[in-house]
Each structure stands twice: as C-alpha cells, then as structure tokens.
C-alpha cells in the first residue's frame, strides 16, 4: 500500500480535499495511507511557532526556514520507519504528466513538501528533496493545491481505488491521445442524437469508431500531443 505524507502550513486545507470522494473512500478502505503534517508544529520557536524569515540579501516576502521542515521530515521517517521519496511542489519543477503519475504510483512512500511565501530555504532542498514537480507554468500561492493534484492523479491509479483498471485505461493521456466522446441516455436530447454506431451493439465497429474519434479529436484539440519531438 502506498503511503503519502504531505508537509504543509495548511493541513486542514489538504484534509478537506483528501477526505472526500474517491480519495476519501480509498483512505477509509485502507487502500492508501495519507497523512498531513503541520510544519508549524515543528518550529523551534515555542512561543510564536515561527516558520519563516526575511531573505538574506534583501528582497520582498518571506522565506520558509529549513529547521521546521527538517524536523517534520525526521518525524515522518521516525513514524513510518522509512525514508520517503521527497517531492517539492514548485513552479520550477518538471510538469506533472500522466506518465509521471504512473511512475509515482509504484513508489511505496512519497513526501510532498508544500512551500509558501517566497519559497523555502535552498538548503532544505539540497538536504532532502529528490525531485521538484510543477503542475503547470503558472504560480500558485502555495504548493498545497499542486500537492492535491499530484495525490489525486497518483491515488486513483492505485490497486482497488477505481472499480476496474478499464476505468482509466482508455482515458485521455493514457496512450498519448485524448479520449473518445461519451454519451448516455436519452438517445435523443434537444434534437441531438447519439451516434448510431454506439446503439448498434457491434463491438468491433464501436472500437474502430472510438479509435478514429480519439485520433481526430487529438488532432483538433491537442495537435502538440501528436508531434514526435514533444
């Protein structure tokens, strides 16, 4: 079973997301183990629980200090008895892809580190971080939303979380293409009919139609996915 720890200044924000829906159910069924930790609890400052300070060399904003993150990390190692693969959520990282999510589901223990303010002291990155990961070329106020995206994309691929592997095998990005269009009842809605082939019960024709649709809509919506030099 995969274990994911999340180190953050806003654990309630993460718990609110990860306690619901499919991920919440997977946790209750003990298909995954997820723990959110408040970095502030590890501050060496007993009075104000301070975790940040102004940057050396000047400049705006605050930088998260290394010690509270380090102590949080050591506690996670102690609690779990294993050294996690540490991912720092950062717009400087490589962008998350479905391929990356598939790789991460095989890592037994992940720690997602969420920065805030102007980021974290570079020394904690040197000391514990194995990889930086971004969810896109834009800047968020903190790593929490990005960590939720990574957690969701990984956990839904773990054994038993979705009812069957077919649930995601044909999805967009699983084979480098976008998924074919889906329809459900009624057969006609607002004058628009479901494509006849889907009502035919002819499985080979349906497969063929879906494969063509997949390719055609990838060409139109995401031609960049079809380029060799992606």
Smaller CB distance to ligand ADE: residue 131 or 212?
A: 131
What residue is closest to ligand ADE based on CB?
146
CB 91 within 8 A of CB 134: yes
- Comparison of 72 and 112: residue with beta carbon closer to ligand ADE: 112
**Of 87 and 157, CB closest to ligand ADE:** 87
> In whole angstroms, how close is the CB of 192 to ligand ADE at the nearest point?
38
Contact positions vs ligand ADE (CB under 6 A): 89-91, 134-136, 138-140, 143, 146
Least Å distance, CB 89 to ligand ADE, is 4
Tell me the C-alpha distance between 118 and 55, whole Å: 9
Cβ closest to ligand ADE, residue 96 vs residue 177: 96
Residue 45 and residue 57: Cα distance in Å, rounded? 23
At its nearest, how many Å lie between ligand ADE and the CB of residue 13?
Answer: 14
Between 153 and 214, name the residue whose CB sits nearer to ligand ADE.
153
* Smallest distance from ligand ADE to CB 84, Å: 18
State the minimum distance, in angstroms, from the CB of residue 10 to ligand ADE.
13
């Amino acid at each position: 079973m995969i274990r994911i720890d999340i180190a953050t200044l806003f654990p309630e924000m993460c718990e609110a997301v990860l306690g619901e829906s499919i991920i919440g159910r997977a946790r209750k069924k003990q298909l995954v183990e997820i723990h959110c930790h408040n970095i502030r609890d590890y501050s060496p400052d007993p009075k104000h629980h301070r975790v940040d300070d102004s940057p050396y060399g000047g400049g705006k904003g605050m930088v998260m200090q290394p010690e509270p993150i380090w102590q949080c990390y050591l506690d996670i190692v102690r609690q779990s008895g294993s050294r996690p693969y540490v991912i720092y959520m950062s717009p400087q990282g490589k962008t998350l892809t479905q391929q990356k999510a598939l790789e991460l589901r095989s890592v037994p223990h992940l720690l997602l580190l969420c920065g805030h303010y102007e980021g974290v002291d570079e020394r904690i990155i040197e000391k514990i971080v194995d990889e930086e990961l971004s969810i896109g070329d834009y800047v968020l106020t903190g790593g929490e939303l990005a960590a939720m995206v990574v957690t969701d994309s990984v956990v839904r691929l773990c054994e038993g979380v979705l009812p069957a592997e077919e649930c995601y095998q044909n999805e967009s990005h699983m084979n480098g293409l976008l998924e074919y269009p889906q329809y459900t009842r009624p057969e006609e809605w607002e004058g628009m009919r479901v494509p006849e082939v889907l009502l035919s019960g002819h499985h080979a024709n349906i497969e063929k139609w879906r494969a063509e649709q997949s390719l055609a809509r990838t060409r139109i919506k995401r031609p960049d996915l079809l380029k060799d030099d992606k």
